[in-house]
Structure 1
Amino acid sequence: MSTLETQQFWEDHYGAKDRIWSGRVNQQMAAIVADLPPGRALDLGCGEGGDAMWLAERGWQVVGVDISPTALERAAADAAERGVAERISFERHDLSETFPAGPFDLVSASFLQSPLPWDRAQLLRRAAEVVDHGGLLVIVDHGAAPPWAPAHVHEFPFPSASEVVDELNLPAGQWQRVRVDAVERDAVGPDGQHGTLIDNVIVLRRVT
């Protein structure tokens, strides 16, 4: 799929509403990063910038990346309003074509999943390459479709956390598996439905 087609898909997604996400940080990522000393972070698929701004508010220098200009414009406006614009650089990339220059102390990919055809494993391998020695690669995925999702979403493949790591095929001896598991959490759907969501949480530390 071409960059223009991918960009249009996500532009349509973000253009459907004035606001798609809450602006709050992803809970799993926040728990992992909360006690880390701030450094340089890369937020892949940053959307409207909730994670990036949370990091910047805690002293991180952040590069937030998305393919949607609309999402990035909203993120930049919110960053200015929250007083962290000087600590965040928002960049537009089709990550299958271009990638920000590293190294980074933290590379995060929160719910970087798509119904479009793409080589996600290759993208995440590229993400691993820009993690600095001693740094973390943090991946948080949907482990299953939300209970309230449309029927076709339940047909999507949702690999386990271990399967995601295996697909990366990272160099032996270079990475420590800090955490690779699934976590359940209570959530509320768009129409007030209560349900349980499953997050795959993957934390890998580059040791060499």
Structure 2
Amino acid sequence: MTTTAQEFWEAFYSERDQVWSGKPNPLLVRETEHLEPGSALDLGCAEGGDAVWLASRGWRVLGVDVSQVALDRALRHARDAGVEISVERHDLKETFPEGEYDLVSAQFLHSPVEEDGERDSILGRAARAVAPGGVLVIGGHAGAPSWSEHRDHYFPTTKDVLDHLKLADNWIVITDDVVERPLVGPDGQREARKDNVLTVKRLY
């Protein structure tokens, strides 16, 4: 039986009252903490850790996810933090929020039910949603842990992402980096996890 993205992620979030820490992604913090707040689009916002952090810094944030359970938690997280965010439910391979944004964030848009080319298409639409002078920040895993069932899966490099984006000459690359962080497995295994971060700016 085929599982849709919405079915998979609704079940994923429904299994526990809270999945993620609620803290912002360190790579997003690193890439955006110096920026002047404006409008922000958080793709795959999950339970709202990044969206709430951005809102606390003055950004006007629209968080998007395929899971309504996750979006409800993001709104609750925002209320608890005393900030406001907007949310919309989208299966991004089918629908995409309207408008242009000073910041578009796409953090770890990996999915076990993703089909070939879907992520590339979504990131292309993400780039088209960046306003002149704005930035697109893409964070992604560079590989899976040795204990993961997805350890043999190929994760795209920043070069792969750039090649698929096919950005025009009104874009510049701000950050093209691989970051290592310690990771502890379910049985106490310890190894370094590598993540990619790509930040590009639309000049005009």
Fold match (TM-score > 0.5)? yes
Cα deviation for residue 191 of structure 1 reads 5.3
Whether the 8 Å contact between 2:174 and 2:201 is mirrored in structure 1 is yes
- CA drift of 1:190 comes to 4.8
Distance 1:189 1:39, change over 3 A: farther
CA distance in structure 1 between the partners assigned to 2:194 and 2:107 by the alignment: 13
Distance 1:54 1:162, change over 3 A: same
Aligned pairs, number: 201
Q: Deviations over 1:152-173 (max 9, x none)?
A: 3112111211111112222x30
Pairs within 5 Å for 1:35-54: 35-54=34-53
The aligned residue for residue 59 of structure 1 is 58
Offset from partner CA, 1:93-115 (integer Å, 9 cap, x none): 11112111221000000101112
Q: Which residue of 2 aligns with 1:199?
A: 195
- Mapping 1:1-208, distance limit 5 Å: 5-85=4-84, 88-118=85-115, 119-149=118-148, 152-170=149-167, 172-190=168-186, 192-208=188-204
- Please state how far the C-alpha of 1:187 moved relative to its aligned partner: 3.1
1:181 Cα deviation after fit:
2.1
Gap regions ≥5 residues in structure 1: none
Q: CA 1:66–1:147 in 2, change beyond 3 Å: closer, same or farther?
A: same
C-alpha distance after superposition, 1:5-61 (max 9, x if no partner): 221111111112111100000001101111111100000000000000000000000
Structure 2 residue matching 1:17: 3-state secondary structure: coil
Aligned mates of 1:144, 1:58 — CA distance in 2 = 31
Q: Distance in 2 between matches of 1:80 and 1:193?
A: 37
Change (3 A) 1:144 1:37: same
Cα distance in 2, alignment partners of residues 127 and 174 from structure 1: 16
Paired with 1:105 and 1:146, the residues of 2 have a C-alpha distance of 34
Q: Quote the RMSD (CA, aligned, Å).
A: 1.6
- What secondary structure does 1:71 align onto? helix
Cα offset, 1:194, TM superposition: 3.1
Cα distance, 1:193 vs structure 2: 4.0
CA distance in 1 between counterparts of 2:186 and 2:159 reads: 30
TM-score normalised over the length of structure 2: 0.93
Percent identical pairs in the alignment equals: 50
Q: Distance in 1 between matches of 2:198 and 2:136?
A: 8
5+ residue gaps, structure 2, are: none
CA contact (8 A) 2:4 2:113 kept: no
> 1:77 Cα shift?
0.8
